[in-house]
Amino acid sequence: MAPPEIADLVVVNTCGFIDPAKEESIEALLVACAAAHSRGAEVAAIGCLVERYRDELARELPDVDVLCGFEIDPLLGKLRELSGGGRAPQAPARRHRSLHTYLKVSDGCDRRCTFCAIPLIKGRYAITPPEDILALAESALARGSREFVLVGQDVSRYDAPEYGGLPRLLADLAALGPAWIRLLYLQPDGITDELLAAIGRSAVHYLDLPLQHASASVLRRMRRGGDAESFLALLARVRAALPGVALRSTFITGFPGEDDVDFARLVEFVREARLSVAGVFPFDPQEGTPAASLGDQVPVDVREQRAARLAHVIEEAAADYWSGLVGRRLEVLVERGCRGGRGEGVGRIAAQAPDVDGVTYVTGVGLRRGQLVTATVDGTVGFDLTARTD
């Protein structure tokens, strides 16, 4: 894959999920068009923003040369044209592969959370067949991948006809021999004891549970269900099954009708839950979703103030988890090594997911990228750690 400065075709993968992502995608397209067209190259926009707003993009961004949503043919056609006809070129080896591979176990969602546009964009829930997931995992390992990260909108629902659910998939993936397997986006009502046992056997002790809120009335209006008590009971069950588990979540502040009492319940819950990390998003009404037209909309500045306050409480509450690791000997997956003698590399412990969580700065001798080393944690900096191998 050529860098964008010399590529004949610059491909921008867009996102149509929330407004900031849409704006970022459009900004990236404008920048790509200006840079590419100034040297005679072309620009293709792909992904869910195109799928959702194809006509508007064609009208508003006429400079984009190819619009390609979830179908692949327009992009392949352009690649064929640029390569002088014949077969579309195969993607050459990437110059710098990451050590983790995202395995999309399903796409789409049959739930109808009132704030969410994903079912409108992606459609009904559909699994990726297990043989496709395993084939991708095998080829990723052959290219040097060390970690599988299972993703999808509703990962805990995975169940393939005549194959089975996540426990079997986890066992089959583990048998291929990655260093780590990690699951993201597990819906709280999908956490069965059987799944926890399978994670205990085959995956890292890390759970990402998007809880979104803790007030029963807000959760009901979100059409998600649950409340602070049931979530605390779930977290206790997870901790009993997976000792030392790192727990990530996400929350929305300022959902329509969220009053001071609801928000106070959320803050109290976050203090009690002792999560290791969580993302917080001020409510952002999405076109076409029920929540966008609910009454009792919370003013934007209140949504944002509550998000900032909750992020602060999460960081305070998480400090115990991270400082509790100081002095422990833990495995670190080295993502950036150091040449020669003693030096500092950068990696992650199992409690740190790639791309979204913090990192571990590890000091040692001859640290190699891809190596799994055991190191003693000797400090914390927010959600990052420092560690040494001796």
Residue among 202 and 212 whose Cβ is closer to ligand SF4: 212
Distance in angstroms (rounded) separating the CA atoms of residues 218 and 241: 29
Q: How far is the CB of 108 from ligand SF4 (least distance, A)?
A: 8
Q: Which residue, among 333, 369, 15, has the nearest Cα to 179 in the 3D structure?
A: 333
Distance in angstroms (rounded) separating the CA atoms of residues 136 and 323: 37
Per-residue x/- mask for ligand SF4, residues 202 to 231, rule CB under 6 A?
Answer: ------------------------------
Q: Which of 32, 45, 116, 196 binds ligand SF4 (CB under 6 A)?
A: 116
Per-residue x/- mask for ligand SF4, residues 156 to 195, rule CB under 6 A?
Answer: -------------------------------x--------
Q: Which residue, among 153, 386, 351, has the nearest Cα to 248 in the 3D structure?
A: 351
Per-residue x/- mask for ligand SF4, residues 4 to 23, rule CB under 6 A?
Answer: --------------------
Q: Is 111 in the site for ligand SF4 (CB under 6 A)?
A: yes
Distance in angstroms (rounded) separating the CA atoms of residues 348 and 336: 10
Any idea which residue has 């001071």 for tokens?
Answer: 260
Per-residue x/- mask for ligand SF4, residues 289 to 318, rule CB under 6 A?
Answer: ------------------------------
3-state SS, one letter per residue, for 217-273:
HHHHHCCCCCCHHHHHHHHHHHHHHCCCCEEEEEEEECCCCCCHHHHHHHHHHHHHH
Q: How far is the CB of 283 from ligand SF4 (least distance, A)?
A: 13
Q: How far is the CB of 279 from ligand SF4 (least distance, A)?
A: 13
Q: Which of 46, 66, 75, 109 binds ligand SF4 (CB under 6 A)?
A: 109
Residue among 99 and 121 whose Cβ is closer to ligand SF4: 121
The two tokens of residue 366 are 């001859």
Residue among 37 and 111 whose Cβ is closer to ligand SF4: 111
Q: How far is the CB of 260 from ligand SF4 (least distance, A)?
A: 25
Q: Which of 42, 107, 154, 262 binds ligand SF4 (CB under 6 A)?
A: 154
Q: How far is the CB of 253 from ligand SF4 (least distance, A)?
A: 15
- Residues 252 and 218 sit within 8 Å (Cβ to Cβ): no
The interface region with ligand SF4, picked from 69-77, 112-120, 167-175, 260-268 by CB under 6 A, is 112-120
The interface region with ligand SF4, picked from 109-117, 238-246, 267-275, 354-362 by CB under 6 A, is 109-117
CB atoms within 10 A of CB 135: 11
Residues in the chain: 390
Contacts with ligand SF4 by CB under 6 A: the residue count is 10
Q: Which residue, among 305, 302, 216, has the nearest Cα to 266 in the 3D structure?
A: 216
Which uninterrupted H or E stretch holds 153? none
Distance in angstroms (rounded) separating the CA atoms of residues 390 and 377: 10
- Residues 229 and 268 sit within 8 Å (Cβ to Cβ): no
Q: How far is the CB of 305 from ligand SF4 (least distance, A)?
A: 24
Q: Which of 29, 50, 113, 127 binds ligand SF4 (CB under 6 A)?
A: 113
Q: How far is the CB of 61 from ligand SF4 (least distance, A)?
A: 27
Q: Which of 16, 47, 69, 119 binds ligand SF4 (CB under 6 A)?
A: 119
The interface region with ligand SF4, picked from 108-116, 244-252, 326-334, 335-343 by CB under 6 A, is 108-116
Q: CB under 8 Å to 274, separation ≥6 — which residues?
A: 247, 317, 318, 320, 321
Distance in angstroms (rounded) separating the CA atoms of residues 121 and 181: 28
Q: Which of 12, 118, 314, 359 binds ligand SF4 (CB under 6 A)?
A: 118
The interface region with ligand SF4, picked from 98-106, 114-122, 232-240, 358-366 by CB under 6 A, is 114-122
Buried b (16+ CB within 10 A) or exposed e, 299-338: eeebbeebbeebbebbeebbeebbeebeeeebebbbbebb
Q: How far is the CB of 207 from ligand SF4 (least distance, A)?
A: 16
The gap from C-alpha 377 to its chain's centroid, in whole angstroms, comes to 25
Q: How far is the CB of 212 from ligand SF4 (least distance, A)?
A: 7
Distance in angstroms (rounded) separating the CA atoms of residues 370 and 335: 6
Distance in angstroms (rounded) separating the CA atoms of residues 383 and 381: 6
For binding to ligand SF4 (CB under 6 A), which residues are involved? 109, 111-113, 116, 118-119, 153-154, 187
